[in-house]
Amino acid sequence: GQQVMQIPQYQHVQEGEDFTTYCNSSTTLSNIQWYKQRPGGHPVFLIQLVKSGEVKKQKRLTFQFGEAKKNSSLHITATQTTDVGTYFCAGRDTDKLIFGTGTRLQVFP
Amino acid sequence: NAGVTQTPKFQVLKTGQSMTLQCAQDMNHEYMSWYRQDPGMGLRLIHYSVGAGITDQGEVPNGYNVSRSTTEDFPLRLLSAAPSQTSVYFCASSYSAGNSPLHFGNGTRLTVT
């Protein structure tokens, strides 16, 4: 079955530094979704990408879908302490959503 | 608007006990699913349902049963709890399978001793 891996597993940054997490799938994805989970909370939907090479922005967050639709990235510019949490990508496998392993972001003030 | 409601929030079981984790949604979503979250393992799909009366296995279904008799409810049953089932369990629902946002419940933290 489909496998979705994310790197890095952990990232510690100083506030104001940039952050990027990468998502790689073993198979071609029809779409990819990104979620954020705050410590002690539940995952919350951020965005969905559908088209090959698609780029979407949400304020300081930039999401990219690879040309081959097998990888994706999330880049945060000038991190803030409010960005702390775990970021998950999730890819559609026929009629279900398979999540990546997640990247935990810690931001030091 | 309650969204996705999970009960209980916390549960401690002894090995061999059975229990049911409850999940209900009030958004008329067709798709419902159960995930477990363990450190370093991300969210792993246990079982899912694309509509009432239809269920299917996910990545880690062993030791768990589900049923979907109504659109609103999707309970997860542990038949004989094992320490390996100690985890945080999330129920999630969406309008359709895989191409609309998943709405998660607040989770159930289960400990099996």
How much is the pLDDT for A50?
95
Instruction: Check A95 against B107: CB less than 8 A apart.
Output: no
**Does B4 have pLDDT greater than 90?**
yes
The whole-angstrom separation of Cα B97 and Cα A94 is 8
Check whether the bond before A39 is cis (ω within 30° of 0): no
Whether B40 and A9 lie within 8 Å, measured CB to CB: yes
Nearest 10 degrees: Cα torsion B95, B31, B103, A88: -110
Q: How far is B44 from chain A (nearest CA, A)?
A: 7
Choose among B6, B11, B5: nearest CA to B85: B11
pLDDT at B41: 82
How near does any CA of chain A get to the CA of B38, in Å? 10
The mean pLDDT value for B11-32 works out to: 97
Preceding amide of B101 cis, omega within 30 = no
**Model confidence at B86: pLDDT above 80:** yes
Residue A96 to residue B105, Cβ atoms within 8 A: no
pLDDT digits (tens, 9 = 90+) for A42-89: 999 999 999 999 999 999 999 999 999 999 999 999 999 999 999 999
Residues of B in contact with A34 (CB under 8 A): none
Nearest to B42 among A41, A94, A100 (CB): A100
Of A42, A48, A98, the CB nearest to B104: A42
pLDDT at residue B69, as a whole number: 97
Q: Give the pLDDT of residue A11.
A: 97
Q: Would the pLDDT of B68 be above 90?
A: yes
Q: Residue B40 has what pLDDT?
A: 78
Chain B CB contacts of A92 under 8 Å are 97-99
What was the pLDDT predicted at A2? 74
Q: State the average pLDDT over residues B1-22.
A: 95
Whether A43 and B102 lie within 8 Å, measured CB to CB = yes
Residue B1 pLDDT: 67
Residue contact A30–B48, C-beta within 8 A: no
Q: What percent of chain B has pLDDT over 70?
A: 99
Gap between the Cα atoms of B113 and A17, Å rounded: 43
Least confident of A22-36, A90-104, B9-23: A90-104
pLDDT over 90, % of chain B: 91
Q: Given an 8 Å threshold on Cβ–Cβ distance, is A90 in contact with B102? A: yes
Share of chain A above pLDDT 90, in %: 90
